[in-house]
Structure 1
Amino acid sequence: MFYVYVLKCRDDSLYTGYTNDIKKRLKMHNDGKASKYTRSRRPVKLIAQWPFKNKSEAMKHEIKFKALPRKEKIKSIERCF
């Protein structure tokens, strides 16, 4: 199982990625070992996640989500909860 996830950074920006282990990936982001973007914006908080059967589906969703304007991203996140 793979997941597309959204993090809210310290500066209120959003970071989107995909992984097969959310807990491990979140820890890596908060330890500064995951991406250059989140390294300088710690701490980060997981605010959304979507499950997918395989990596390919997750990657496609990640690309589509990243292309959305911020307002649309927020609406999509709110529908998760």
Structure 2
Amino acid sequence: MAFYAYLLRCNDGSYYAGHTDDIELRIAQHMAGALGGYTAKRLPVELVWSDSFPSRDDAFAAERRIKGWSRAKKEALMAGDWELISQLAVNRQGPRSVG
């Protein structure tokens, strides 16, 4: 069984990250407002990125990582720009001291 992490763009331009074992059903639930919470107040939503993972733990870990990312990094993920994702990760850590 595959598990998925996903990213939605909400009507207000914000992003929502989640995970599931049935991506089609979960997106339909979000679009219908059936899950309540964050996305129900920001309809309609659009699936802008998803990826499959071998376990629920892996999909959940990806969701948690993405939730902590900046808007720019989420947009780089949607574009598949791994170089920019790496640059944004380094820049967010701030200057490194040598010594």
| Coarse TM-score class (shorter-chain normalised) | over 0.9
- Aligned partner of residue 15 in structure 1, secondary structure: strand
Alignment RMSD (CA, Å): 1.2
Moved over 2 A (4+): none
TM-score (norm 1): 0.93
Letter in 1 for 2:10: C
- Relative contact order (C-alpha < 8 Å, sep 6+): which is higher? 1
Q: Which residue matches 1:38? A: 39
TM-score (norm 2): 0.77
- 5 Å-filtered alignment, 1:1-81, equals 1-79=2-80
Structure 1 gap segments, 5+ residues each: none
Provide the identity percentage: 34
- Number of positions where the alignment pairs a residue of Structure 1 with one of Structure 2: 80
Distance across 2 between alignment mates of 1:43 and 1:78: 21
Quote how far apart the aligned CAs of 1:61 are: 1.0
Between Structure 1 and Structure 2, the one with more strand by share is 1
